[in-house]
Amino acid sequence: MKAMDKYRALPYDSANSLAVDIWHLFNNERDLASPPSTLYRVRKLTWQHRSLLTTLGFLVAGLLFAAVMFSWLYITERSKRRLADDLALANTLELAKSYESEGKFAEAARAYQDILNINLDQGSDSVLIRQQMAKALAKADNFDAAIEEYKLVLASKQTDTKADIAERNRIRRLLIDSVVARSTQLSSESSSSKASRQRAVDLASYAVELSRTDEKRIADAMTCLSIAHYRNGDFNSAHRAIAEFLKTGARGNLFVVYLILAAAHHQLGEK
């Protein structure tokens, strides 16, 4: 078979080479006639299908080129979009600070909300923006929205590092102030409904729970709770809230406390 191979590099180069190989065979020596090697088979297959393999090569190269181009275009477009978002964030942040300096806190809160809508990563920067928005909402007397924002900020501070603990306490105090302000706002409304007065009580109770370890805030929260109970017509609860406040020894507006206590005694006496 080697002598008849049609490829020039494979047959014997002369009759003498064939005779030598036969002599090796008879003497049980290694001969040159052997099955084709794997490399030979691959080269032969490649040569036989060279047109198809060339077409496939061009196709694969085209696909790789297209993939590289699409990746480059995507990265470029993403960079442009991020740059535009950063510019919009900077402009909106500047606008929000301008509104705050002018005392337009409702507009500032809306600007901060626009920043949160643009910045969808919700990272540490978003938490800071949410804090600023909550402050603006509180200054705009939109305490319900401020309370919800402060709750979200407080929930994001979950680590126990010294800095985060201090930050949680600061945010908790701001939350308490907003809760007390909203409860007082509801209690002071002359035309408030029963549901509004009950909400004032619920908010004041929540403020009391938040401020158990804060002497200043517990005084404000307990005073607020007693006022809310009194405005809600629950004089027994108002009396108990004041008694609990006096037991804590916290320093608050004692004039207001005793005034409510006297009014509660008076109402209970009439009943």
Mean pLDDT by 10-residue block, N- to C-terminus, for the chain (271 residues)?
49 60 58 62 78 89 92 90 81 88 91 80 71 90 90 80 82 90 83 83 89 79 83 79 70 54 55 44
> Residue 221, class by beta-carbon neighbours within 10 Å (0-12 exposed, 13-18 middle, 19+ buried)?
buried
- Apex CA 122: angle with CA 119 and CA 127, to 5°? 100
d(CA 66, CA 74): 12
Q: Quick one: pLDDT at residue 221? A: 85
d(CA 183, CA 193): 13
Query: Do 133 and 114 contact (CB within 8 A), yes or no?
Result: no
Query: Do 175 and 206 contact (CB within 8 A), yes or no?
Result: no
Global confidence as pTM: 0.59
Q: How far is CA 179 from the centre of its chain?
A: 25
Q: Quick one: pLDDT at residue 71? A: 92
Which pair of structure tokens corresponds to residue 97? 């600070």
For residue 68, the tally of other CB atoms under 10 A from its CB is 10
d(CA 226, CA 260): 7
